[in-house]
Amino acid sequence: KDLIVSFGEMLIDFVPTVSGVSLAEAPGFIKAPGGAPANVAIAVARLGGRAAFVGKLGDDEFGRMLAGILRDNGVDDGGVSFDTGARTALAFVTLRADGEREFMFYRNPSADMLLTEGELNLDVIKRAAVFHYGSISLITEPCRSAHLKAMEVARQAGALLSYDPNLRLPLWPSAEEAREQILSIWDEADIIKVSDVELEFLTGQESVEDDVVLTLWRPAFKLLVVTLGEKGCKYYTKDFRGSLDGYAVDTVDTTGAGDAFVGAMLTKIVDDQSVLQDEGKLREVLKFANACGAITTTEKGAIPALPSEPAAVKLLKRN
Ligand code: ATP
């Protein structure tokens, strides 16, 4: 078994044609396909791994375009369903000149939120060696129940469960609800990746010190990773822990860096699960993941910027 199945949302980000403007000031927008779980699936495929995506799109021009993007990138889209009543999710996103991100979501509700348990392609999920998911699919029913069912099916079929909460606070009714729901499936995972910002949100402490991170550790975990943007990452297993520096690159847009990191890490873990018990091997895997994250920041958008294996190896050799 070597299939990585990614579950959750795929949508279109509309980003301004010029940088540093507010949504209201933007003269125009371009389409940037995204959604963290879909990005992870494409990251895996671009690195030569086997990937499938499970989720729901609108039966509309944008939904069919996104499914085409999965296929064109070598991702199995057999787990994608289409909703005839609801549209593909859209998000207008900008990074203003003052450094603040502005979001406007069109999800009222969007097709991804309407995925039901009955629509899950269980055959795809049962073939997973790794089943990966985020937390946006937990926000509303019926998708929440579909998410929980998919986790259960994947687990029973022997998959490793991989969780990147990918906090999008504006989508939740409140911060408390976000924290509670994100943590409600915390203990189920084998592998968790959080960013430093998410760590702060979940622990309520402005620190990435080990004692703070370890409050999120659970005995059944196989790997907990905290990503630190340009500073790299920290890793925790039952037997060892440590950190790795990031790679200095000319950063243009960090969108998708975390997804590239996860895709790279999972691709290597599926290849050889013994990396989870061997610190030397795990460090090589996480260096590779850091390089993949770094490369993704050197181009605008997530999907166009996701690296191939040779591009990542080149950056590793340069350092
Ligand atoms: P995002 O939400 O932007 O996709 P994230 O917040 O989940 O990302 P980050 O910690 O920003 O995750 O990035 C993931 C990894 O990508 C980092 O651990 C690092 O290896 C790499 N990375 C991110 N930003 C940079 C950067 N500016 N320069 C070099 N590497 C970076």
pLDDT digits (tens, 9 = 90+) for 214-235: 999 999 999 999 999 999 999 9
CB atoms within 10 A of CB 289: 30
Instruction: Give the amino acid at 284.
Output: E
**Which residues are catalytic, by number?**
259
Whether residue 142 is preceded by a cis peptide bond, meaning omega within 30 degrees of 0, is: yes
Task: Compute the average pLDDT of residues 174-195.
Answer: 98
Backbone angles phi and psi of 52, in degrees to 5: -135, 150
How do beta strands 101-106 and 11-16 pair? unpaired
* Mean of pLDDT over the chain: 97
Which residue matches tokens 């022997």?
A: 158
Of 285, 237, 236, 231, which is closest to residue 261 (Cα–Cα)? Answer: 285
Q: Is 228 in the pocket of ligand 1 (CB under 6 A)?
A: yes
**Burial of 287 (C-beta count, 10 Å sphere; 0-12/13-18/19+):** buried
State the distance from the centre of ligand 1 to the C-alpha of 118, rounded, in angstroms. 36
Q: Is 275 in the pocket of ligand 1 (CB under 6 A)?
A: no
ipTM of the prediction: 0.96
Confidence of residue 94 (pLDDT cuts 50, 70, 90): very high
- The token pair that represents 37 in the structure block: 């779980």
If one residue of 103, 169, 227 were mutated to test the ligand 1 pocket, choosing by the most ligand atoms within 8 A of its CB, it would be: 227
Confidence of residue 78 (pLDDT cuts 50, 70, 90): very high
Distance, in Å, from the CA atom of 90 to the CA atom of 111, rounded to the nearest integer, reads 10
Q: Is 58 in the pocket of ligand 1 (CB under 6 A)?
A: no
If one residue of 230, 231, 315 were mutated to test the ligand 1 pocket, choosing by the most ligand atoms within 8 A of its CB, it would be: 230
- The token pair that represents 32 in the structure block: 């940037």
Ligand 1 atom nearest to CA at 197: 6
Closest residue by CA, ligand 1 atom 14: 258
Q: Is 142 in the pocket of ligand 1 (CB under 6 A)?
A: no
Q: Is 258 in the pocket of ligand 1 (CB under 6 A)?
A: yes
Closest residue by CA, ligand 1 atom 17: 229
If one residue of 9, 197, 254, 315 were mutated to test the ligand 1 pocket, choosing by the most ligand atoms within 8 A of its CB, it would be: 254
pLDDT at 101 over 90: no
pLDDT at 100 over 90: no
Ligand 1 atom nearest to CA at 256: 4
Q: Apex CA 218: angle with CA 117 and CA 163, to 5°?
A: 40
